Amino acid sequence: MNEQNPAPLRDVAANPHAFTTYLKSHQSSLLDSEDSLAVLAREARVHCRNTRVDGDRWYHPRMRSAQVEKSMRRVLKHLEAAAAEMEKATAARHAFEEDVRTLPGKRRQKALEKARKKGAVPAQAVNGTTVPQSPRYTSPASVFDLGKESA
């Protein structure tokens, strides 16, 4: 930990651009490690398969080296998966930031729709022109009600 900043990654987590840059640098180092480990796996395979002991049959070195080869394949597979997950995390962080940015507008729209459904806000209220109506008089609901007055 740093004396001036007790949580140095807190600032990185708060800023989506810094988050992306940080993960990109780690992903780059992972991919560099992956390349060197792939070469190491190939060289280990060649060495292990060429190591023979007296009395070996042709398949014995191959069987002995299988565990080393399998371990190295697993390491390489997990490195590739980690690099891919870093890309997904970066995309998810940007999607989160976009959601947070648009959330107040979505909530406002949802509240207006809810109020419209309940009938509390007439359609003219959105435009800013409301027509005050008498609470006792209602307009005719259909053509058959034209001759009737309700009070």
pLDDT above 90 (res 129): no
CA distances from residue 82 to 74, 87, 99 in whole angstroms, order as listed: 12, 9, 25
Secondary structure of residue 102 in the 3-state scheme: helix
Query: Domain residues of the chain, as ranges?
Result: 8-120
One-letter amino acid of 6: P
The pLDDT value given to residue 124: 54
pLDDT above 60 (res 111): yes
The pLDDT value given to residue 123: 52
Give pLDDT tens digits for 43-93: 999 999 999 999 999 999 999 999 999 999 999 999 999 999 999 999 999
Instruction: Tell me the two tokens of residue 47.
Output: 């060495």
> What is the average pLDDT score of the chain?
85
Q: Which pTM does this prediction carry?
A: 0.61
Q: List the one residue out of 98, 45, 96 whose CA is nearest residue 70.
A: 45
Cβ(68)–Cβ(44) below 8 Å: yes
Give pLDDT tens digits for 21-50: 999 999 999 999 999 999 999 999 999 999
